Amino acid sequence: MAFILNIETATEVCSVALAESGKMLVLEEETKVNSHSSTLTVLIQRLFDKTLRSMTELDAVAVSEGPGSYTGLRIGISAAKGLCYSLNKPLIAVSTLKAMASGMIEFQNNETALYCPVLDSIRNEVYVGVYDAFLNEVSPPSPADAGLPSLNHLSGNRKVFLAGTGLKKLHLPSEFQVLHLVNTSKNMVALAENLYTKNNFVSLEYFEPLYLKNFFAGER
């Protein structure tokens, strides 16, 4: 039963949500590209203004850990760490791809299906994760060449749902179904609450974004 601030900056959407006991209270988002650094703190303040709550009431801060935009992840995680340090609160790291899969399942639930969030990466690459309808990890998050064999290895007799910013790079079989969803912090809410109840926190000193690849300065 926790009061948690959720921060999602792994993609072009800058999204924050306040949640209590695993239920979202209020959501603020900005879809303007490259606006994370200028809008994140503004959006966070709006949450507390709307709810008439104080940041000191927070039990924890949850942040999308990646993979995703290098710049976006650094901005979100730096803000989350700063709040945790100043408020003396624990930090929760939520897998970006798992949170996306959670949103996909909520949108289109099928107990026998597979859910494959795909995020755009640099050059001709994407980040891919595969989950079943109960959020069990079928294939761990990984970088992949967008020329991978059309994800045919996922199919068999199971329906496969895909969503995310990386789909434009893939050649998808007609039987795969695309879900048009925007990455959002509300998908983090239930996962963050679950991690909180298990005291599954990360170190403020040592936690780093999950890049999945070597980071090179100048890459987004």
Q: Which of 50, 53, 55, 73 is nearest to 63 (CA)?
A: 73
Q: Are 3-95+184-197 and 96-178 in the same CATH fold?
A: yes
Indicate the class that CATH gives domain 96-178.
Answer: alpha beta
Asked if pLDDT for residue 160 goes beyond 70, the answer is: yes
Q: Which residue has the higher pLDDT, 130 or 34?
A: 130
pLDDT in tens, 102-122: 999 999 999 999 999 999 887
pLDDT level of residue 21 (50, 70, 90 thresholds): very high
pLDDT in tens, 171-203: 777 778 999 999 999 999 999 999 999 999 999
Asked if pLDDT for residue 61 goes beyond 60, the answer is: yes
- For the chain, what percent of residues have pLDDT higher than 90? 73
Cα four-point dihedral sign 30, 31, 34, 36: positive
pLDDT in tens, 89-100: 999 999 999 999
pLDDT given for residue 149 in this prediction: 47
Domain 3-95+184-197 has CATH 3.30.420.40: yes
| Residue extents of the structural domains in the chain | 3-95+184-197, 96-178
